[in-house]
Amino acid sequence: MNSTNRNKLLQYGRELLELELYEAQKLPTRLGDDFVKACELILSIKGKVVVSGIGKSGHIGKKIAASLASTGTPAFFMHPSEALHGDLGMVTENDIVILISYSGRAKEFNLILPILKEMKVPVIAITGGLTSPLAKSADALLDISIEKEACPMGLAPTSSSTNTLLMGDALAIALMRIKEFKEEDFARSHPAGSLGAKLLNHVKDVMRTGERVPKISEHTTVFDAMLELSRTGLGLVAVCNQNNQIIGVFTDGDLRRLLLNHGTLQDEITHVMTKPGYRLPESWKAIEALKSFNDHNITAAPVVDHDGKLVGALNIHDLHLAGIH
């Protein structure tokens, strides 16, 4: 590509961004009583927020519905055309509807609005058509009007769709903050993500159990501990009494120190183990276990129940495999 075309591409991209930013800068001053009313209406409903829009407004509407749902405000997207052919039945008198149309004159909404009014379902309009049928029918009007689209022909929604997206984000995040929505709440709607792994998983969810847990009796020798260390590869062995309660641990490091100090594999384990030894409660969150590992500069620990009985084992690799870093 020659330098002239390269410079043109950069110029066109910068012009679009500058124009969209110029239009977006006007939005904060437009938030007033109607924005507050829109939030209050959503906070007062017993049902869900139904978001609807067609064309580019529809694509933005799907994102707004998703943002609301993931930040503590139950919501879903309803396509206007499908609404006119049965999907309007998804809307109940306990819901509220957000209708998105820059002109405010979408034909589908002209058919939907009378039905919503008859059902006494509140309507929030996100529009630039401040005197349009949609604006006049709305219980709350969110103004996204612009002077100029960034498209040079003024045809492709650009500045207007950006304003719509920003207004939807403002609504979702304002509601999230007033509800004091926390990280744990966010994680519940994102259980497969890294945040969900950190905040929802407990030690008992990610620990090793059964035969994978290194364990020996208090009436054994260092040789037995070494065999168990080799079998499980965890780097430690839990030493338990007859009630399966941990009375100490024996680690790879303990074995090395023993041999350097001229100990033998026939030494009784209770004479050389670390007492009482570090252990993790099964009820802890996995992220707490990771912090504890880092704080104590260790990589593994046995896991106990509230009675101090051995129920599992965990190392830092298990946490990383579970997405907890």
The pLDDT score that the predictor gives to residue 10 is 94
The pLDDT score that the predictor gives to residue 192 is 53
Measured distance CA(125)–CA(137) in Å, rounded: 8
Query: What does pTM read for this prediction?
Result: 0.69
Model confidence pLDDT, tens digit, residues 99-111: 999 999 999 999 9
More confident residue, 201 or 230: 230
CATH 3.40.50.10490 segments of the chain: 3-181
Confidence band of 307 (pLDDT split at 50, 70, 90): confident
What CATH code would you report for 3-181?
Answer: 3.40.50.10490
Spell out where 245-305 has E strands.
Answer: 246-251, 280-281, 300-304
Measured distance CA(192)–CA(194) in Å, rounded: 7
Measured distance CA(43)–CA(15) in Å, rounded: 39
Model confidence pLDDT, tens digit, residues 268-304: 998 889 888 888 999 998 888 889 999 888 889 999 9
Q: Which of 203, 197, 200 is nearest to 311 (CA)?
A: 203
Q: Which pair of structure tokens corresponds to residue 8?
A: 């043109």
More confident residue, 276 or 52: 52
Q: Are 134 and 104 in contact (CB under 8 A)?
A: yes
Q: Which pair of structure tokens corresponds to residue 29?
A: 């001053």
Q: Are 51 and 91 in contact (CB under 8 A)?
A: no
Model confidence pLDDT, tens digit, residues 144-169: 999 999 888 777 889 999 999 999 99
58: CB partners within 8 A, 6+ apart: 52, 77, 79, 80, 100
Q: Is 122 left (phi over 0), alpha (psi -120 to 50) or beta?
A: beta
Q: Are 250 and 237 in contact (CB under 8 A)?
A: yes
Number of H helices, E strands in the chain: 16, 11
What CATH code would you report for 200-321?
Answer: 3.10.580.10
The pLDDT score that the predictor gives to residue 191 is 55
CATH 3.10.580.10 segments of the chain: 200-321
Measured distance CA(153)–CA(245) in Å, rounded: 77
268: CB partners within 8 A, 6+ apart: 220, 221, 222
The pLDDT score that the predictor gives to residue 111 is 94
Q: Which of 95, 204, 205 is nearest to 139 (CA)?
A: 95
Measured distance CA(209)–CA(313) in Å, rounded: 7
